[in-house]
Structure 1
C-alpha cells in the first residue's frame, strides 16, 4: 500500500456518523422481547377472556374463574416459545454477519460493515464481499459480479475503477475508498425496489383470520341474547345468567388454536435452526410445504461456486510431468481464481519447480506462465489464445472438438525459450488439455430426486449460457434438461409466459426476466419457491410465494428472503419441506379439536337462547373438557412426525373433521334438554350428562385423529381418559357434577351408545369427503 494513502481519523469518522453518512442498512430484525410480550398479551381473545373473568368475579362465582388459568398459561407458553425462537434466529443471524478491514487513525482495524462511513479506506482480498460501493486507490483485483448481473465472468479492476457492493473479490487484492454508503449503494437501490409489503400467502393464516372474524361477529350478539333470555325470560337470576353466558362464550373462543399454531411454528423454527436454516418469516414454513415449483439458480444452489479438474487429456507428456508443470504455474501465480484453485486441488501433493520470472494472467492475453529453474517455460491458458497458428496445432484443436461435455478447457504448453513481454515463444509444445468443470453440491442429485418423487417441478433460471445451464441440469437429473431456452431470444411477455410453463431450463436470464418468470408461473396457478443468492435475484425472490437465500450470497437477497440456508447447502431443502409438512398436517389435525368446542358452543347458545331451558354448562366444566380432550392432546398430536404431502383446502379439512364431534355434542345436549321436559331430571343432572357425553364425543375424535397409534399417542389417550375419570369420580363437587338417578343413568347409556354409532358414521363420511377433496387438488 502506498504511504500516501491515509485512512480517516476518529474525529472524521464521528463527523460522518453525525451526518448520517454510514453504511447502515435496513435488515430484517426479530421482534424485541418487549414486542413479544405485547403481541402475546394484548390480543382480542385475551381481552374477551378478561371481560368474562371480571363478570364472574363481580357475581362471586369464584371457582368458575379457573378458565383464566388456561388463558394465562397459554399466553406464557406462547411468549416462551417465541423468545426461544427469537434467540435461535438471532444466533444464526450472527453467523451470517461479516466484518470489514479498514484503515483508521493509521491502524488497520476490523469493524462491522454497518459501521463503515463515507471515504473509509478498506482492504479487500480474494473471497471478500465488497461491503459498499467503492473506488480502487491501490492494487488490482478481479471481481465476480454474478450476484449483481448473473454473469460469472471475472471483471478486472485497477486504480480509479469503481466496484459495486455485493460483488466478490475473486483474485488479487486492493485498497479502496468508500464512495457510496447505505441506501445510496447500487445493491441497496435494487433492494429498495423489493421493499414493499408482501401479502402473506399462508392458507392457515387466512383460515384462522376467517374463523376469528366470524367468532368476533357472533360472540357479542349471541352473548347479549343469551344473557337477556336467562335473566328476563327464564328468571334465572343475575349470577346464574352470567355463569351460563360466560360458559357459552368461553366455548366459542378458539384461542388455543392460535396459540397452538404459533407454538408449533416456533418449535419448527427452533428445529430448523439446529439444521442451520434461518427462518425470517414464520408462516413461510407452511408455504414451502405447499410449493409445486421451485426455481433454482445454478451457481451457489446446484453448484458449489467452485471448480475441479474432471479429466486430463495428455498430448506430448506423461501425467507426472504434467502435474509438476501445473503445480509450478499455480505456486508462481499470485492470483487464485477458481481455475487455479481447481489446479491447486488437483496437484496438492506435487512439489513445484522454482519459478524465476512469472507473467500473470490478463484479460487481454488470456494466459499466464513463467520461466522455471529446470530451464523450461510453462504456460496455461485458453487454446485459441495460446496457439496463434491453428493449422500448426491442428491436433490440439481436433482433440478439443471431440470434447462433448461442457467444461472449461485449459491448454498446458511448454517451451525451451522464455516469454518475451506479452509475446509467447514460437516453439510451443502442447503437453495436455486440462478439463475443468463446476463442482456439484454434495447430495444435489439425491435432493433433485427427492423433489421429483414429491411431484415438485424444478426449473433452473440462470444468467449463464444455455449450454452450461443445460449440462448442469442434465448432470443433476432435472427433468426437461434436454430442452432449454435462451432468454435473449424471448422478446415479448406472451413468449415469456408460454416459455415459463413449457421449459424447465432457462439461460441468459436477466433480473427483470427472473421476476416475470415467477409471476408467470404464479399466474398459471403454481405455488412457487425461488432460491437465489445475488442482488440480481432480489426482485424474483420478493415475488415468489416462498423465497430461499444462501447465507454466502448478497445481503440484499438475505434481507428479502423468508428462509436463509446458513450452510449454503441446497441439500437442506428436503428437511425444510419435511418440517413444513409435519407442521401443517399436524396443525390441521389438531385445529379441528378446537373447532369442535367453537361449533357446538355456537349451536347450543343459539338453541338455549330461544328455549325456556337453562344453558347446561358452567365455565369450570368446559375448562376440564378443554384441557383434557383438546389442549393436552392437540399439543401432543401437533409435534408428532408427519411427512405426508400437504393437500386439500385447510379450512374445509378442519371443519369437516370437527363437525362429527360437534354435531354429536349438540344432538346429545339438545336431546337430554328436551327429555328433561318430560322426565324427572334436574338441571344438575342435565349438566352432568352433558359433560359426560361431551367428553365422550371429544375423546372419540382424539382417538380417530391419533390413528395409527404409537407409544406417545397411546400414552396421551390413557392420560386424558384417566384424568377425566379421576375428575369425574373424585372431584365431582368441584366441577358441579352430581350422582345420577336411575332414569338419568339410562339416558346417559343410551346417548353414549348412540354417540359411538353416530360419531363414527359421520366421521367416516367426513373422512371420505376430505380424501376426495385432496385427490381433486392433486388432479388440478
Structure 2
C-alpha cells in the first residue's frame, strides 16, 4: 500500500516497526541505495520524532473546547434548558464564538509557524547512492551514512566509521569537555560537533535514541514553567474555578429553600452569579494574543519556538550578547599579518605566506576564522601534512603537523602564556583598533588538541576583524533608552571586544575584564555587577555568567549562534539564536532570527510589551466583572436576597464592556516599559470599578426593597448601571485616548445601545417603573464621583504604602548600622 506524503509538521504517529530481515552495512563513501532506504522506511525505521514540533489541530481544538469553564457553561446551559429559561442561555453563543475565535487564531498562527519551522528544521548531510545531499533530520533512516561537521547537532545515535571529530556531550552529561571521537567510537544523539568532520553510521534512531528527550531539553521547552503573566492568570482561574461551585450551591439553596423562589428564578439567579465570577475570556485572550504575536513575528522572519518567551523578553533587564554574529557580521576577513622577531631573525624559515597557506589548507573550514584564513592564504608549499587538530574552544587554538614540524594558531594568551608580556604592547595596540589578534607559531611537540605545555616560538600575528553590523548602534541605543543593560560575552581578547563594543554604541564598553582571571563564583558575581565587556570567556563561564545574573534577580536574555553558546542559551530566561549559526544553538534557543538580523530585537521586545501591557488593561476589564460578581454574591448570601442580575444581562454587558474591547485593545501597539507585577497591576486597576459596581448596585437593591420596586425593574436598572460603570472604567483603562481608542470605545457603546434599543427583550431588559427610574437616575449620577474618589483613595493608599516601605527600609538600615557599630 502506498503511503501518503505528509507535511513534516503535522502530527504523525510513529508507524509500528517491523523487524528488518537484513541490516545493510553501507560503504562510508557510497551509503545506502534508494531501494534500501525505501525498505527501511516501509518497515518504520526512520528518524521521525515521537513528539510533534507544534500543537496538532486536534490539540488546539481540545484546548479551546474541552476546558473546565466550558464544562461549567455546558452544565449551566443544561440546567437552564431543563427549567425552561431559554432566553437566559444567551451566553452560550458568546462562549461558542470565543472558542471558535481561539481555534481560528491558533490554527492561523500554527500554519505560519509550521511553515517557518519546516524551513528551520534540523537538517543532516547524508550519503546515498554515492552522492551527498542535505535532508531533514527526520527523513534519515537506520544505517544511513551521515557526514557530521562542526556546529552540527547529532540527530540520532551513531558510530564513527571515517574521520575524527571533537564532540561536546554536555546535553547528555552536563559536562562541556570536548571528547575526541575516532572510527569505532559512538556519537550520542543530542550532542554536537565542536570541530572536525566525520562519516558516521546511524545505529539507533527515532524512539530508540535519546533524541526526543534531548531535543525537548535543547529547545528549552521548560515543561511546566510559565511566564509571570500566565502564572497570574492561572491563579485567577484557579481561585474562580474553586469558588464558583460552593457559592453557586449556596445561592441556589438560599433562593429555592429559604426565599421560596421558583425553581426557574432560583436557577437563573444562581447562573447569573456564577457566570459573573467566571473569567472565561481572560485565558482565551492571553492565548490568542500570544499566538497572534508569534504569527506577526513570523512575518518578520522571527521563529518563536516557545510563545511564553515573547512576554519574558519584554521583561528582560540584562541582555547578554556575543561579539561575532550579534554586534558584528558573521564573517571575518584577514586584515594583516605582522611578523615577529623570532621569525625575522631566522632566515631558514619559509615565507610566512607559505606557512600560513599550508596551515589553512590542512584545516577544515569549520569556523569563520578558518574560512577567512583559507580565503586569504592560498599559496601552500610542498610540505605534507601529518596530523591536524581542529579549533578547541576550551584551549583556544588549532594545530597542524607537517614533515617540517608542528604549528599552532590561536588566542595570544593561550599560545604565548608566560611570554605574553613580551608581545603585549603589539597585541593590545591592534586590539584597541577593534581587531582580533591570533598568534601563529611553531610548537616543539605534536599537539593533541589538549592544553599546550611546551613553549611556542611565535612567528606572526594574524590580524582579523568582523564588520560591525550597520544597525548595531541603533539597536543598542534602543536597549539603553529602555533601561536594559547589555553585557558583551566573547571568547576574544577583552581589549578588542571593548573597542568593538564602543564602536557599536554600547554604554560603558570601556569597563572590561579578562574572564580567565575570574576563578571563583564570588569573582564572577562581583564581575557581573561591575563590568560590561567580558573577554576570553569559556563555554562553562558563559553559563556561569547567566546563572550569576539570575541569582542577582535579573531577567536575562542571551543571544548566540555558536556551539559554545548552547549551555548559556539553555539557562537564560529568554534565548535568541541566529539561523546562520550552529544547529545546536538554533535548537536550544526559544527565538530564532531566520534572516540573522539582530535589528529585529527591538521589534520582538515591542511585541512582548504590547502583549503584556495590553493584557494588563484587558485583564482588568475581566476582573471588574469577576470581583464585582463575587462581592455581590457574598452580599446576597449575607443579606439573604436574590442575585439581582440575569445571565442574559451579564452576557450583554460582558460582550461590549469586556470581551470586544478587551480583544481590540490587545492589538493596539504599546511599547511602554513593563513595570510592576502583572497580577498586582490588573487587580489594582480593577478594584475601583468593581467596588463602584458593587456599591451602586447593592445600594439600588436595598433601596428597591425599601420602596417596593419589582425585582424585574431592579434587574434592568442594575444591568444598565453596570454597563455605565463598565464604559467609565473602559475609558480610564484605555487612557491616554487617541483616535483608535476612541473608535473602539465608540463602537462598543454603539453596539450596547443597539442591543438595548432593538434586542432588549432577548437580553432580559424590560421597561422600568417611574419609581425605579428615579432610583436609577440618582445612582447613575453617583457612579462617576464614587469611581473618581475610589481611584484617588487607591492612589493615596499606594503612596502611603510606599512611604511606609521606605520608612521600614530606613529603620532596618539604621538598626544594622547601629549593630555594626556595636
SS of equivalent to 2:671:
coil
Alpha-carbon offset, residue 691 of structure 1: 1.3
Q: 1:210 pairs with 232, 235, 249, which one?
A: 235
2:321 matched residue in structure 1: 296
1:308 aligns with 2:362: no
Segment drifting more, 282-291 vs 539-548: 539-548
Q: 1:251 pairs with 272, 276, 279, which one?
A: 276
SS of equivalent to 1:306:
strand
Root-mean-square deviation (Å):
4.8
The change in CA–CA distance for 1:310 and 1:167 in structure 2 (over 3 A counts) is farther
Q: 1:704 pairs with 717, 732, 737, which one?
A: 732
SS of equivalent to 1:645:
coil
SS of equivalent to 2:596:
coil
Q: 1:441 pairs with 459, 464, 469, which one?
A: 469
CA contact (8 A) 1:191 1:535 kept: no
Which of the pair has the greater relative contact order for Cα pairs under 8 Å at 6+ separation?
1
Alpha-carbon offset, residue 267 of structure 1: 1.1
1:222 aligns with 2:250: no
1:371 matched residue in structure 2: none
1:322 matched residue in structure 2: none
Segment drifting more, 639-648 vs 476-485: 476-485
User: Whole-Å Cα distance in 1 between the matches of residues 380 and 490 of structure 2?
Assistant: 42
User: Whole-Å Cα distance in 1 between the matches of residues 764 and 203 of structure 2?
Assistant: 76
Q: TM-score, normalised by structure 2?
A: 0.75
SS of equivalent to 1:740:
coil
User: Whole-Å Cα distance in 2 between the matches of residues 277 and 612 of structure 1?
Assistant: 57
1:475 aligns with 2:503: yes
CA contact (8 A) 2:149 2:193 kept: no
1:644 aligns with 2:672: yes
2:529 matched residue in structure 1: 501
Q: 1:81 pairs with 105, 122, 125, which one?
A: 105
Partner deviation per Cα, 1:408-456 (whole Å, 9 max, x = no partner): 56999xxxxxxxxxxxxxxxxxxx9985312333412222211111111
Alpha-carbon offset, residue 671 of structure 1: 1.3
Segment drifting more, 602-611 vs 198-207: 198-207
Q: TM-score, normalised by structure 1?
A: 0.79
The change in CA–CA distance for 1:17 and 1:96 in structure 2 (over 3 A counts) is same
Q: 2:136 pairs with 107, 112, 130, which one?
A: 112
Q: How many residues align?
A: 722
User: Whole-Å Cα distance in 2 between the matches of residues 159 and 50 of structure 1?
Assistant: 64
1:10-21 matches, cutoff 5 A: 13=37
1:367-386 matches, cutoff 5 A: none
Segment drifting more, 99-108 vs 268-277: 99-108
Alpha-carbon offset, residue 260 of structure 1: 1.3
CA contact (8 A) 2:167 2:180 kept: no
Partner deviation per Cα, 1:367-402 (whole Å, 9 max, x = no partner): 99xxxxxxxxxxxx98999xxxxxxxxxx9998886
CA contact (8 A) 1:28 1:280 kept: no
SS of equivalent to 2:537:
coil
Q: 2:310 pairs with 285, 291, 298, which one?
A: 285
Which sections of structure 1, spanning at least 5 residues, go unmatched?
Answer: 315-324, 369-380, 386-395, 413-431
1:721 matched residue in structure 2: 749
CA contact (8 A) 1:657 1:767 kept: no
Alpha-carbon offset, residue 676 of structure 1: 1.9
The change in CA–CA distance for 1:508 and 1:773 in structure 2 (over 3 A counts) is farther
CA contact (8 A) 1:202 1:287 kept: yes
Which sections of structure 2, spanning at least 5 residues, go unmatched?
Answer: 1-25, 340-352, 390-397, 402-407, 413-422, 441-459, 810-822
CA contact (8 A) 2:151 2:563 kept: no
1:752 aligns with 2:780: yes
User: Whole-Å Cα distance in 2 between the matches of residues 458 and 203 of structure 1?
Assistant: 23
Alpha-carbon offset, residue 231 of structure 1: 0.8
The change in CA–CA distance for 1:618 and 1:599 in structure 2 (over 3 A counts) is same
Segment drifting more, 465-474 vs 607-616: 465-474
User: Whole-Å Cα distance in 1 between the matches of residues 370 and 516 of structure 2?
Assistant: 31
Alpha-carbon offset, residue 67 of structure 1: 0.4
User: Whole-Å Cα distance in 2 between the matches of residues 776 and 455 of structure 1?
Assistant: 27
Partner deviation per Cα, 1:525-584 (whole Å, 9 max, x = no partner): 111122233444333323222222222334443334322222222221111001100110
User: Whole-Å Cα distance in 2 between the matches of residues 438 and 588 of structure 1?
Assistant: 43
Alpha-carbon offset, residue 168 of structure 1: 7.5
CA contact (8 A) 1:684 1:738 kept: yes
CA contact (8 A) 1:706 1:713 kept: yes
User: Whole-Å Cα distance in 2 between the matches of residues 701 and 467 of structure 1?
Assistant: 55
2:711 matched residue in structure 1: 683
User: Whole-Å Cα distance in 2 between the matches of residues 464 and 777 of structure 1?
Assistant: 45
